[in-house]
Structure formats: structure tokens, C-alpha cells
Amino acid sequence: MNNLIHYRCEGSVALVGLTCAPVNALGQALREQLLAACELAAADASVKVIVLHGEGLVFSAGADICEFGGAAAFAKPDLPSLLARLTELDKPLIAAIGGLALGGGLELALACGYRVAQAGARLGLPEIKLGLLPGAGGTQRLPRLIGAQAALEMIASGQPINATRALALGLLDRVVQDADNLLDTARSLAEELIARQAPARPACPQANPGAALPANYFADYRAANQGRWKGQSAPQRVVTAIEAACSLPLAEGLARESELFKEAEASSESQALRHVFFAEREVGKLPGLDTGTPIRPITQVAVIGAGTMGGGIAMNFANAGIAVMLLELKAEALERGLAQIRKNYETSVQRGKLTAEQLEERMALLHGTLDYADIAQADLVIEAVFESLPIKQQVFRTLDEVCKAGAILASNTSTLDVDAIAAVTRRPQDVVGLHFFSPANVMRLLEVVRGTATAPDVLATTLKIAKRIGKIPVVSGVCFGFIGNRMLEPYSREAHRLLLEGATPAQVDKVLTGLGLAMGVIAMHDLAGIDVSFLVRESRREVIAHDLGYCKLADALYALGRYGQKTSRGYYLYEGRERKDDPQVVALAEQIAGELGIPRRAISDQEIHDRCVLMLVNEGIQLLDEGIAQRSSDIDLVWINGYGFPAWRGGPLHYAEGLGLAQVLERIGHYREALGDYGAMWFQPAALLERLVACGKARIERI
């Protein structure tokens, strides 16, 4: 009857093994069988102690996320009532934790009177990462075990801790070095409990978990973190739940936790984070590519150009234990590039993120060369030279000459046509775009640009290697700017035009950071370099020449040598890291607006939000319609991981679904009318948006 539980009795000890592969997610079927097994043990007079463990698997990675938001999550027995029942049994329960006890898995362990773990185990309550809070007693039982402050840290960060730390906090009774001895340790603890007729549950070590806290602890904690949380409600709910643990008896605290959990589960924030969770699992799945698509082996990588991007790209591979050959034009550039990589690793060592040995191991995987013959055997070559089509084409002609057959030839271009680069080789099927984001060793986004001729196994191999180096690979078709930078253009255009119409840089940025973006678009231009965007514009003036009025302010700043943060002056003034408004920029905007005949007026925050965000969304929908992006959740991942769009809003397209697609279309139409010729030129709704609204669709999908 119990296909998910392996039950056996050894003397007075019942061993209840959870066998729900792969991670003992606590779905309804497992909950039901676990309860039945524990009831069986409870009713068996010969059983004195019950041991719960993962049978050949981790203890439990937590709730079954597929059940969230649906009826299955509350199907009987739901996790809170299952755990409540376990705490009522009059026999000691021991959780023997191997591998993982996360979320509901840790709450299951907390419902047991005793806990032992293997040294390598990780324990945590990561619910906050999905906009939730532990809803099966975690916020009430953990503080009673380890105190309110430590519990708050664990739950608010969502970060797992290792078994040693858990033992020190009092979350575990014992830690065993070797996983093979875990059950033996649980058995010997069981024998001890039987021998000393221990109670089913020992007295709470922290019966009053908030006793040691300073007055105003929670108010101060909220005040200190308000800025970091921005508009998110999940951290607020976590604090409220821990406060309840400090002020209410357990039963009332559990009831309060349950209310808070239900609120969180229904929140748009949690829905957005769950959307992102599933988006990350979907990304990289492509029609025509499956597990049967062959993968080319990648053991040696070469990077052409050891500049800002080349160095960062090389670090990704060295971090994953893959040897990299860096090729440069001149010895000085190569030395500079390698020295910069070492410096980056040294910073990680100083911050305690890397050991000195790891630094040397990684540097030993990196080799420099000036000679193409040295990269002839590379399986994957990534070009990261200057952003110029003739230069890149020349590099690819050489690669075509020297590289072995079957090598994957990739370009890190941010804007150039991957097909035009592939066309200079005799093997366009082996050419692909790999658009890393800066800093390339840190940013998780990788746009994988599929050229017209790119072979399926090249795409499958790059997706696989991307995951191996810890990236989120999003496939894009070929177009100017691919997914991310193409969407950046209308978003940025509106911000610039608004400066001419009367908004200030600070006002524009404040609206965007208020939405939760890591940085406003104007400050972002200062960071990326006004010179960089000027040079990109220069290279394609003939394509975008029909209305460049909105670029005039940026062009004027470039002419003044105000390149942004690097020159301490751009849209803002910089003193160190501090940003200040500059009345001269406002005066310049006024002057340019006058020259262009653009009337100045007071601009509302709503208008800034609508024009920047709706144009961003509209472009994303257009990209989906053109087939440049595969699915709307891919677009969300690009903007969350490459451009600082808040994950808790689910990315721009998920956010637009929340606003309502009909409303989005209506607002675009409104500005099309209200902004005269400018509106008529730029506020053209994407045809797919119109079709979705006409069909009454709530979700953005290709139809």
C-alpha cells in the first residue's frame, strides 16, 4: 500500500523511510502515506521510538511546488495538520537528516522531538524566495528551538545553513560525519531515549523566544531593512510571524502563521516569484531540441580578446574547472587581461569567497597566447574583440582557417548581425552568438543567439555548457540588440524624451526604482557610459535617422565629454559613489527642447511609469510575435537577470499581465493620441498585443 514509504521495525524502533524520488517533495500522496506509517508505529505497542529518514534519498527538499496555488496544497492531510498530528504522538520521533532538509522538509524535522544530521546536510527555510513564509509551523517552532533572532535571520534570508552551524544553534541534537552512519546514530539515540524513558518531545529550549531581544527589536529591524525590501511584503510577513512566536502561545502562533501564509500565497509577489521559478526551468527548452539531440564534448575553451568581457568570460570557465586559452593581439594586452583576472580573484579571496589555493587552481587553468595555432584544438571559441563587424569578420575568417572541424565558434557581440559574422566562414552551422552581460563572471544572464544556419547540436551544446558555468541561457533570434538591448531601446527612448518634455533625471529614475528596478535607466546610462551608447548610435544613424530628437541630450552630453560615472559627470554629478542632480543638465534639456519645439510641462510619475514600462512591454510582445524570443517567460528572465527588473514583479511581461492586457493597450492608445506626431510615430501597439486583447487573453503568448 505504501509505495512512497519504506517501513520496517527493528526491535523497539520503527524506521520510516521516505522514498519519493528525487527529493522527497512533500506532495499529497507522500503526506498521506507518511501519516499512515506514523499512525501504524504509534499504534504498535512494541514500537517505542519512530525514526524518519530519506530512504536512499535526501531527507526532504520541502513542499511540492507544483501544488502551490492549487487545491492539492491543502488536500488532506495538509502539511500543517500532518505535522500537528506528529507532535501529538506520545512516542519520540527522531528526524535523521541526510542531504537536505529544506522548507517543509525542515518543518517536518522541527515537528519531531529530536534531530540528527549528516555533516554535509543543509538545512533551511527558503520560502521567502518564492514570496512565501514557512506555513507548517516553521516560524513558530524554529524560534522556540534556537531563539527569535537566529530564526528570523534564517527565515528572512532564506539561505540554508550547514549541519555544524545548525548544531551550534541548537537546531540539531547530533551531527555524524559519515552519511553511512546516520541511521546508526539515530538508532543509538533511540536506544538512549528508551533507556532514560525520555519524553516524546523535550521541553522547548526557548520557551519564550523573544526574551533576550532588546526593546523595539522588531520595529528597528523593519526600519533598518525597509529600503532593501522596497515594496515587498513577504519579508514583512516573516517578521510579523516571528513577532507572533514571541508574543502568542504556540497554538495561536500557528494559527497566525497559517493566516499569513495564505495571504502570502495569494499575493501577486509570490505568484511572480513562482512564475520566475518555473520560467527558469522552462528556459532553454526549444522545439526540435530534446534529450536525443547530440552534444559536442567541450573540454578546451578559447577566448579571443582579453578585455573587460573576454577576461570575465574566461573566469566563468575556469570557475567550472575548464581550461581556457586567452588569445590577444599584443603581449601587453594579454598581460593586462590576465593581471585583471588575478586581481578579481584576489578580491574574492579578500572577501572570503575563495581560498588562496582555489585562486591558484583557477589561474592554473588560464593560459595566454598570441598565436592562433595554440587554439586549433579548442572545442569552443568565444570571440570578445572590439564591437566592429569588419574586425569580428576578420577574426572569424582566421578561426575558420585554424580551428578543428566541429569546433563551436561563438561571438559575444552585443549588437552585430551573427549571420553576417557566420557568413564569412565555411561553417556557418557551427557559429552562434553568446552574449554575456557585464561583469561576465557575475551576471547570470546569457543570451544565446541562434543564427539562421546554427546547427541544433551547436545550440544544444551551448545551452548545456551555459548551465554548467551557472548561467541562465535565453535563446534569441538574430535582430539588432537581441532580446534585452532591443527592449532597452524604447524604454530608454521614452526616458530621454521625458527629460526633454520636463521630467528630471532623478524623477525618472525614482519612478523606476520605486517599481523595484535595481537602477533607473538614466543612472544606468551613466554607469554603462554615455560614450558607449553614443558609439552604438553612430554606427547605425542611417537606420534610426527618422527621429533622433530624443537622442539629442545624450549626444550633447557626449560632446561635452560627460561620459557618466567614469568622468564623474553625466546625467548626474558623481562624488565617489554618491550621485547628485545637476541643474546644468536640466538647463541643457530645456535648451534642446526649445530648439526642437517640444513644450515643457510638469510630468506625472504615472506618465513616466506608463511611457517607459509600457513601451518596454510592447517591444517584448513584438519580439515574441516575430519569433525572436521563444516564450514570454524567457523575456522576463532576460530583464530580471540582465537589467535589474525585480523578480518579485515577475519580469516586464508578467507585470503587464498583472496590469491587464486591455489596460496596457488602452494606455498605449492614449499616449498615441496625446503625444501628437511623436505619439503617432512611436506608440504603435504590437500586433500581437491587439490580437491578445481581441481574443480576451489574459496571458501573453504567441497566437
Q: How far apart are CA 678 and CA 681, in angstroms?
A: 5
Which DSSP letter does residue 266 get? H
Neighbours of 595 (CB within 10 A): 11
* The residue to which cell 519504506 is assigned: 6
Residue from 55, 67, 107, 257 carrying the catalytic annotation: 107
Q: How far apart are CA 665 and CA 694, in angstroms?
A: 10
Contact call for residue 13 and ligand NAD (CB under 6 A): no
CB-based contacts of 278, cutoff 8 Å, min separation 6: 633
Contact call for residue 314 and ligand NAD (CB under 6 A): no
282 is catalytic: no
Contact call for residue 402 and ligand NAD (CB under 6 A): no
From 120-128, 381-389, 495-503, 674-682, give the range in contact with ligand NAD by CB under 6 A.
381-389
Q: Which of 231, 353, 386, 703 binds ligand NAD (CB under 6 A)?
A: 386
CB-based contacts of 414, cutoff 8 Å, min separation 6: 387, 435, 481, 482, 485
CB-based contacts of 14, cutoff 8 Å, min separation 6: 7, 8, 37, 40, 41, 44, 47, 49, 50, 51
Count the site residues for ligand NAD by CB under 6 A. 23
Contact call for residue 644 and ligand NAD (CB under 6 A): no
Q: Judge residue 444's burial from the number of C-beta atoms within 10 Å of its C-beta, 0-12 exposed, 13-18 middle, 19 or more buried.
A: middle
Residue from 55, 127, 447, 494 carrying the catalytic annotation: 127
CB of residue 415 to ligand NAD, shortest distance in Å: 7
CB of residue 386 to ligand NAD, shortest distance in Å: 5
Q: Which of 140, 232, 393, 414 binds ligand NAD (CB under 6 A)?
A: 414
Residue closest to ligand NAD (Cβ): 307
Contact call for residue 413 and ligand NAD (CB under 6 A): yes
Q: Which three cell numbers stand for residue 391?
A: 574586425
Q: How far apart are CA 559 and CA 561, in angstroms?
A: 5
Contact call for residue 418 and ligand NAD (CB under 6 A): no
From 96-104, 406-414, 575-583, 664-672, give the range in contact with ligand NAD by CB under 6 A.
406-414
Contact call for residue 305 and ligand NAD (CB under 6 A): yes
Contact call for residue 417 and ligand NAD (CB under 6 A): no
Contact call for residue 309 and ligand NAD (CB under 6 A): yes
From 82-90, 145-153, 157-165, 300-308, give the range in contact with ligand NAD by CB under 6 A.
300-308
Q: Which residues pair with 6 in a beta bridge?
A: 17
CB of residue 629 to ligand NAD, shortest distance in Å: 18
Q: Which three cell numbers stand for residue 364?
A: 592554473
> Is residue 209 a contact partner of residue 249, using CB atoms and an 8 Å limit?
no
CB of residue 443 to ligand NAD, shortest distance in Å: 9
Beta carbon nearer to ligand NAD, 333 or 560: 333
Sign of CA dihedral 447, 699, 265, 32: negative
Cα 125 off chain centre by: 18
Q: Which of 331, 391, 674, 698 binds ligand NAD (CB under 6 A)?
A: 391
Contact call for residue 131 and ligand NAD (CB under 6 A): no
Contact call for residue 331 and ligand NAD (CB under 6 A): no
From 230-238, 435-443, 553-561, 590-598, give the range in contact with ligand NAD by CB under 6 A.
435-443
Q: Which residues pair with 573 in a beta bridge?
A: 569, 580
Contact call for residue 384 and ligand NAD (CB under 6 A): yes
CB-based contacts of 410, cutoff 8 Å, min separation 6: 380, 381, 382, 383, 431, 432, 433, 434, 462
CB of residue 615 to ligand NAD, shortest distance in Å: 23
Q: Classify 588 as helix, strand or coil.
A: helix
Beta carbon nearer to ligand NAD, 17 or 305: 305
CB of residue 529 to ligand NAD, shortest distance in Å: 8
Contact call for residue 98 and ligand NAD (CB under 6 A): no
Contact call for residue 87 and ligand NAD (CB under 6 A): no
701 is catalytic: no
Query: How far, in Å, are 80, 87, 557 from residue 248 at the CA level?
Result: 18, 18, 60
CB of residue 329 to ligand NAD, shortest distance in Å: 4
Q: Which of 98, 253, 310, 428 binds ligand NAD (CB under 6 A)?
A: 310
Query: How far, in Å, are 82, 291, 411, 430, 498 from residue 407 at the CA level?
Result: 55, 21, 13, 7, 48
Beta carbon nearer to ligand NAD, 268 or 398: 398
Q: Which of 64, 328, 501, 619 binds ligand NAD (CB under 6 A)?
A: 328
Query: How far, in Å, are 134, 147, 170, 209, 244 from residue 205 at the CA level?
Result: 21, 8, 8, 9, 18
Beta carbon nearer to ligand NAD, 308 or 591: 308
Q: Which residues pair with 354 in a beta bridge?
A: none
CB of residue 647 to ligand NAD, shortest distance in Å: 21
Q: Which of 32, 191, 259, 387 binds ligand NAD (CB under 6 A)?
A: 387
Cα 282 off chain centre by: 14
The vertex-651 CA angle with 277 and 442, nearest 5°, equals 75
Beta carbon nearer to ligand NAD, 193 or 385: 385
Q: Which of 438, 513, 539, 568 binds ligand NAD (CB under 6 A)?
A: 438
Binding site for ligand NAD (CB under 6 A): 304-310, 327-329, 333, 384-387, 391, 395, 412-414, 436-438
- Active site residues per annotation: 107, 127
